Amino acid sequence: MTTIRDNLQSVHARIVAACVAARRRPQDVALLAVSKTIGSEAVRAAFTAGQTAFGENYIQEGVEKMALLGQLPLQWHCIGPIQSNKTRLVAEHYDWAHTLDRLKTAQRLSQQRPANLPPLQVCIQVNVDGGATKAGVAPGAALELAREIVKLPRLKLRGLMTLPEPAPDFQSQKALHLRARALFDELRGAGLALDTLSMGMTTDLEAAIHAGSTLVRVGTAVFGVRAAR
Ligand SMILES: *Cc1c(COP(=O)(O)O)cnc(C)c1O
Protein backbone atom coordinates (compact mmCIF):
# COMPACT_ATOMS: atom_id res chain seq x y z
CA MET A 1 0.00 0.00 0.00
CA THR A 2 1.32 3.44 -0.80
CA THR A 3 1.35 5.97 1.95
CA ILE A 4 0.38 9.61 1.88
CA ARG A 5 4.08 10.44 2.09
CA ASP A 6 4.76 8.38 -1.08
CA ASN A 7 1.80 9.98 -2.81
CA LEU A 8 3.00 13.49 -1.97
CA GLN A 9 6.42 12.60 -3.31
CA SER A 10 4.90 11.39 -6.59
CA VAL A 11 2.78 14.51 -6.94
CA HIS A 12 5.80 16.73 -6.32
CA ALA A 13 7.71 14.70 -8.93
CA ARG A 14 4.88 15.27 -11.43
CA ILE A 15 4.91 19.01 -10.67
CA VAL A 16 8.67 19.22 -11.13
CA ALA A 17 8.57 17.22 -14.38
CA ALA A 18 5.79 19.42 -15.77
CA CYS A 19 7.71 22.56 -14.80
CA VAL A 20 10.84 21.29 -16.50
CA ALA A 21 8.87 20.45 -19.65
CA ALA A 22 7.19 23.85 -19.58
CA ARG A 23 10.46 25.66 -18.78
CA ARG A 24 9.10 26.97 -15.49
CA ARG A 25 10.58 27.06 -12.01
CA PRO A 26 9.12 24.37 -9.71
CA GLN A 27 9.04 26.83 -6.81
CA ASP A 28 6.50 28.87 -8.78
CA VAL A 29 3.86 26.12 -8.55
CA ALA A 30 2.35 25.42 -5.12
CA LEU A 31 0.53 22.26 -4.12
CA LEU A 32 -2.82 22.51 -2.38
CA ALA A 33 -3.79 19.12 -0.93
CA VAL A 34 -7.56 18.72 -1.30
CA SER A 35 -8.77 16.96 1.82
CA LYS A 36 -12.55 17.01 1.26
CA THR A 37 -14.17 13.86 2.75
CA ILE A 38 -10.76 12.85 4.14
CA GLY A 39 -10.35 12.42 7.90
CA SER A 40 -8.22 14.58 10.13
CA GLU A 41 -5.71 11.78 10.75
CA ALA A 42 -4.87 11.64 7.04
CA VAL A 43 -4.45 15.42 7.04
CA ARG A 44 -2.11 15.06 10.00
CA ALA A 45 -0.13 12.41 8.10
CA ALA A 46 0.19 14.76 5.13
CA PHE A 47 1.39 17.53 7.45
CA THR A 48 3.97 15.19 8.96
CA ALA A 49 5.17 14.56 5.41
CA GLY A 50 5.62 18.30 4.87
CA GLN A 51 2.30 19.46 3.41
CA THR A 52 0.83 22.58 5.02
CA ALA A 53 -1.89 23.91 2.65
CA PHE A 54 -5.22 22.08 2.51
CA GLY A 55 -8.37 22.65 0.46
CA GLU A 56 -11.92 21.90 1.56
CA ASN A 57 -15.13 22.00 -0.50
CA TYR A 58 -17.64 21.59 2.28
CA ILE A 59 -17.25 24.58 4.56
CA GLN A 60 -18.59 23.02 7.74
CA GLU A 61 -16.57 19.84 7.28
CA GLY A 62 -13.42 21.92 6.94
CA VAL A 63 -14.15 23.88 10.10
CA GLU A 64 -14.61 20.64 12.05
CA LYS A 65 -11.26 19.38 10.81
CA MET A 66 -9.57 22.66 11.78
CA ALA A 67 -10.90 22.24 15.31
CA LEU A 68 -9.37 18.75 15.51
CA LEU A 69 -6.03 19.95 14.11
CA GLY A 70 -5.93 23.38 15.70
CA GLN A 71 -2.47 22.97 17.17
CA LEU A 72 -0.87 22.47 13.74
CA PRO A 73 0.28 25.46 11.61
CA LEU A 74 -1.93 24.64 8.61
CA GLN A 75 -3.30 26.93 5.91
CA TRP A 76 -6.92 26.29 4.91
CA HIS A 77 -8.41 27.10 1.52
CA CYS A 78 -12.13 27.11 0.81
CA ILE A 79 -12.53 25.70 -2.72
CA GLY A 80 -16.25 24.91 -2.69
CA PRO A 81 -19.36 26.99 -3.32
CA ILE A 82 -20.03 29.67 -0.67
CA GLN A 83 -23.74 30.18 0.07
CA SER A 84 -24.63 33.44 1.85
CA ASN A 85 -25.38 31.65 5.12
CA LYS A 86 -21.81 30.22 5.11
CA THR A 87 -19.82 33.40 4.54
CA ARG A 88 -19.29 33.95 8.26
CA LEU A 89 -17.73 30.51 8.73
CA VAL A 90 -15.41 31.16 5.81
CA ALA A 91 -14.50 34.67 7.02
CA GLU A 92 -13.78 33.49 10.56
CA HIS A 93 -11.94 30.24 9.87
CA TYR A 94 -10.31 30.08 6.46
CA ASP A 95 -7.12 31.67 5.12
CA TRP A 96 -8.19 31.61 1.47
CA ALA A 97 -11.40 31.44 -0.58
CA HIS A 98 -10.99 30.46 -4.26
CA THR A 99 -14.59 30.53 -5.38
CA LEU A 100 -15.81 34.14 -5.38
CA ASP A 101 -18.21 34.76 -8.23
CA ARG A 102 -20.54 37.44 -6.85
CA LEU A 103 -19.84 40.85 -5.41
CA LYS A 104 -22.43 40.23 -2.69
CA THR A 105 -20.46 37.25 -1.34
CA ALA A 106 -17.24 39.23 -1.44
CA GLN A 107 -18.82 42.12 0.48
CA ARG A 108 -20.15 39.81 3.18
CA LEU A 109 -16.76 38.10 3.53
CA SER A 110 -15.04 41.45 3.90
CA GLN A 111 -17.55 42.67 6.49
CA GLN A 112 -17.33 39.45 8.47
CA ARG A 113 -13.55 38.98 8.41
CA PRO A 114 -12.41 39.41 12.04
CA ALA A 115 -10.10 42.37 12.65
CA ASN A 116 -7.49 40.22 14.40
CA LEU A 117 -6.94 38.07 11.30
CA PRO A 118 -5.02 39.05 8.18
CA PRO A 119 -7.17 39.86 5.12
CA LEU A 120 -8.86 36.84 3.54
CA GLN A 121 -6.90 35.86 0.42
CA VAL A 122 -9.33 35.40 -2.46
CA CYS A 123 -9.59 34.30 -6.06
CA ILE A 124 -12.38 34.90 -8.58
CA GLN A 125 -13.77 31.67 -9.98
CA VAL A 126 -14.08 31.87 -13.75
CA ASN A 127 -16.27 29.64 -15.88
CA VAL A 128 -13.87 29.02 -18.76
CA ASP A 129 -15.85 26.33 -20.54
CA GLY A 130 -19.16 28.13 -20.62
CA GLY A 131 -21.38 25.59 -18.85
CA ALA A 132 -24.63 27.53 -18.30
CA THR A 133 -25.36 26.05 -14.86
CA LYS A 134 -21.79 26.18 -13.65
CA ALA A 135 -20.33 28.29 -10.88
CA GLY A 136 -17.97 31.06 -11.81
CA VAL A 137 -18.25 34.36 -13.63
CA ALA A 138 -18.16 34.57 -17.39
CA PRO A 139 -14.67 35.60 -18.51
CA GLY A 140 -16.03 38.92 -19.77
CA ALA A 141 -17.29 39.82 -16.28
CA ALA A 142 -14.10 39.07 -14.37
CA LEU A 143 -12.38 42.45 -14.74
CA GLU A 144 -15.36 44.39 -13.44
CA LEU A 145 -15.77 42.08 -10.43
CA ALA A 146 -12.03 42.26 -9.74
CA ARG A 147 -12.15 46.07 -9.70
CA GLU A 148 -14.89 45.95 -7.06
CA ILE A 149 -13.21 43.28 -4.93
CA VAL A 150 -9.95 45.21 -4.66
CA LYS A 151 -11.87 48.03 -2.96
CA LEU A 152 -12.97 45.75 -0.11
CA PRO A 153 -10.76 46.39 2.94
CA ARG A 154 -10.65 42.89 4.47
CA LEU A 155 -10.06 40.91 1.27
CA LYS A 156 -6.87 40.56 -0.72
CA LEU A 157 -7.49 39.60 -4.33
CA ARG A 158 -4.80 37.12 -5.42
CA GLY A 159 -6.02 35.81 -8.75
CA LEU A 160 -8.30 33.47 -10.65
CA MET A 161 -9.54 29.92 -10.11
CA THR A 162 -11.07 27.52 -12.63
CA LEU A 163 -12.78 24.15 -12.44
CA PRO A 164 -13.38 23.07 -16.04
CA GLU A 165 -15.21 19.91 -17.05
CA PRO A 166 -12.77 17.02 -17.43
CA ALA A 167 -11.26 17.09 -20.93
CA PRO A 168 -10.06 13.86 -22.57
CA ASP A 169 -6.47 14.68 -23.48
CA PHE A 170 -3.58 16.99 -22.76
CA GLN A 171 -4.20 19.38 -25.65
CA SER A 172 -7.86 19.97 -24.89
CA GLN A 173 -7.11 20.35 -21.17
CA LYS A 174 -4.41 22.86 -21.98
CA ALA A 175 -6.66 24.80 -24.36
CA LEU A 176 -9.16 25.37 -21.52
CA HIS A 177 -6.45 26.35 -19.06
CA LEU A 178 -4.99 28.77 -21.60
CA ARG A 179 -8.28 30.68 -21.61
CA ALA A 180 -7.85 31.29 -17.90
CA ARG A 181 -4.24 32.23 -18.46
CA ALA A 182 -5.18 34.78 -21.12
CA LEU A 183 -7.71 36.35 -18.78
CA PHE A 184 -5.17 36.39 -15.96
CA ASP A 185 -2.71 38.23 -18.22
CA GLU A 186 -5.44 40.64 -19.29
CA LEU A 187 -6.32 41.53 -15.69
CA ARG A 188 -2.68 42.01 -14.83
CA GLY A 189 -2.29 44.16 -17.91
CA ALA A 190 -5.19 46.26 -16.61
CA GLY A 191 -3.15 47.00 -13.49
CA LEU A 192 -4.39 44.40 -11.01
CA ALA A 193 -1.57 42.93 -8.92
CA LEU A 194 -2.48 39.24 -9.20
CA ASP A 195 -0.09 36.37 -8.52
CA THR A 196 -2.26 33.26 -8.31
CA LEU A 197 -3.77 31.09 -11.01
CA SER A 198 -5.50 28.22 -9.20
CA MET A 199 -6.05 25.46 -11.74
CA GLY A 200 -5.20 21.82 -12.36
CA MET A 201 -6.20 18.72 -10.39
CA THR A 202 -5.11 15.07 -10.28
CA THR A 203 -5.87 14.33 -13.93
CA ASP A 204 -4.83 17.60 -15.58
CA LEU A 205 -2.14 19.20 -13.45
CA GLU A 206 0.48 18.87 -16.21
CA ALA A 207 -1.68 20.71 -18.74
CA ALA A 208 -2.49 23.36 -16.14
CA ILE A 209 1.20 23.91 -15.35
CA HIS A 210 1.97 24.23 -19.06
CA ALA A 211 -0.71 26.91 -19.28
CA GLY A 212 0.70 28.86 -16.31
CA SER A 213 -0.98 27.50 -13.16
CA THR A 214 0.68 28.69 -9.95
CA LEU A 215 -1.34 26.47 -7.61
CA VAL A 216 -2.59 22.97 -8.36
CA ARG A 217 -5.39 21.52 -6.22
CA VAL A 218 -4.82 17.81 -5.87
CA GLY A 219 -6.98 15.37 -3.90
CA THR A 220 -7.04 11.85 -5.33
CA ALA A 221 -3.33 11.62 -6.09
CA VAL A 222 -2.51 12.63 -2.50
CA PHE A 223 -5.13 10.86 -0.40
CA GLY A 224 -6.38 8.11 -2.72
CA VAL A 225 -9.81 7.67 -4.29
CA ARG A 226 -12.54 9.29 -2.18
CA ALA A 227 -15.58 7.40 -0.97
CA ALA A 228 -18.82 8.78 -2.40
CA ARG A 229 -20.15 11.49 -0.16
C1 LIG B 1 -12.19 17.70 -5.49
C2 LIG B 1 -11.60 18.94 -6.02
C3 LIG B 1 -10.26 19.01 -6.41
C4 LIG B 1 -9.32 17.81 -6.39
O5 LIG B 1 -9.75 16.84 -7.30
P6 LIG B 1 -8.88 15.53 -7.59
O7 LIG B 1 -9.34 15.13 -8.94
O8 LIG B 1 -9.25 14.54 -6.54
O9 LIG B 1 -7.46 15.90 -7.56
C10 LIG B 1 -9.76 20.22 -6.81
N11 LIG B 1 -10.53 21.33 -6.87
C12 LIG B 1 -11.82 21.30 -6.51
C13 LIG B 1 -12.62 22.56 -6.58
C14 LIG B 1 -12.41 20.11 -6.10
O15 LIG B 1 -13.69 20.10 -5.78
Q: In tens digits, what is the pLDDT along the chain, a chain of 229 residues?
A: 679 999 999 999 999 999 999 999 999 999 999 999 999 999 999 999 999 999 999 999 999 999 999 999 999 999 999 999 999 999 999 999 999 999 999 999 999 999 999 999 999 999 998 876 689 999 999 999 999 999 999 999 999 999 999 899 999 999 999 999 999 999 999 999 999 999 999 999 999 999 999 999 999 999 999 887 6
Residue 171 lies in a domain: yes
Tell me which residue range forms the domain holding 122. 4-223
Residue 86 lies in a domain: yes
Residue 228 lies in a domain: no
**CA 170 to mean position of chain CA atoms:** 21
Cα(56) to centroid of ligand 1, in Å?
Answer: 9
Read out DSSP for 35-51?
-TT--HHHHHHHHHTT-
Q: Could you tell me which of 86, 173, 178, 161 has the C-alpha nearest to residue 126?
A: 161
Nearest residue CA, atom 11 of ligand 1? 217
At 55, which CATH number?
3.20.20.10
Cα(155) to centroid of ligand 1, in Å?
Answer: 24
Residue 229 lies in a domain: no
- What are the pocket residues of ligand 1 if the criterion is a CB atom closer than 6 Å to any ligand atom? 34, 36, 57, 79, 163, 201-203, 217-220
Residue 47 lies in a domain: yes
Tell which atom from ligand 1 comes closest to the C-alpha of 34: 4
Cα(32) to centroid of ligand 1, in Å?
Answer: 10
Cα(202) to centroid of ligand 1, in Å?
Answer: 7
Structural domain count of the chain: 1
Residue 131: predicted pLDDT: 73
Residue 191 lies in a domain: yes
Residue 143 lies in a domain: yes
Q: What are phi and psi of 32, to 5 degrees?
A: -105, 120
